[in-house]
Structure 1
């Protein structure tokens, strides 16, 4: 590959985090159009294995999130459209990194790189 950096674990984690956040955003329909275009660009960059493009699009996606101040008369905000949600979820699963907001089955939370505190079960029969 000429001029392309590989996609490292930190980049994968950043992508998963922003895609997880995206699923909680409330944006105007016009802003969702822009986010959808970025999600598609991210999918293309991931498919090409172009780490530089993945990092650039991820940064742009992070900046596309909701703003704290809403203008008077601004368009109403909505959750992510189904197609955007589906594509974001597909990308998260394709990266093989568990979303940071997910809880472990059984109610425990996943601790990155560490013990989950559950330990082996002790049956007392």
Structure 2
């Protein structure tokens, strides 16, 4: 719905959802092939953030949640790795972009909630 998301498009709730997803993925251990799927979902999140598109961000967060559920399906004996460097870098860039945007829309003198975690 146009105009329903405020002046910047992406809502504070969506930014919190992104930060929550980033925190969850940061501590995940999954197989290398599953990191590839998470990486594609993270790219979609980053693109939606860059475009300030709330609808695309919702879709990307859904894609990310679906990709993230794969970690519970790792079969016994499958390799489970911590996030590779390229994923950690994407997570850091996304965290920074969300925090930067939250600071830009926060009232002066107030720290927005949940952006420093």
The question of a shared fold, defined as TM-score above 0.5 by the shorter chain, is answered with yes
Is 1:58–2:56 an aligned residue pair? no
| 1:76 corresponds to which of 66, 75, 79 | 79
Aligned to 1:98: 116
Query: What is the RMSD computed on CA atoms of the aligned residues?
Result: 2.2
Deviation at 1:70, TM superposition (A): 3.9
With the length of structure 1 as denominator, give the TM-score of the two structures. Answer: 0.69
Q: Is the 8 A contact 2:30 2:82 kept in 1?
A: yes
String of CA shifts for 1:59-107, please: whole Å, max 9, x gaps. 221222221x54345x2110111011111111111211222xxxxxxxx
Moved over 3 A (4+): none
Give the aligned partner of residue 102 of structure 1. none
Question: Normalising to structure 2: TM-score of the pair?
Answer: 0.73
Tell me by how many angstroms 1:58 deviates. 1.0
Structure number with larger C-alpha Rg? 1
Q: Return 5+ residue gaps in structure 2 as ranges.
A: 100-114
> C-alpha distance in 1, partners of 2:60/2:83?
18
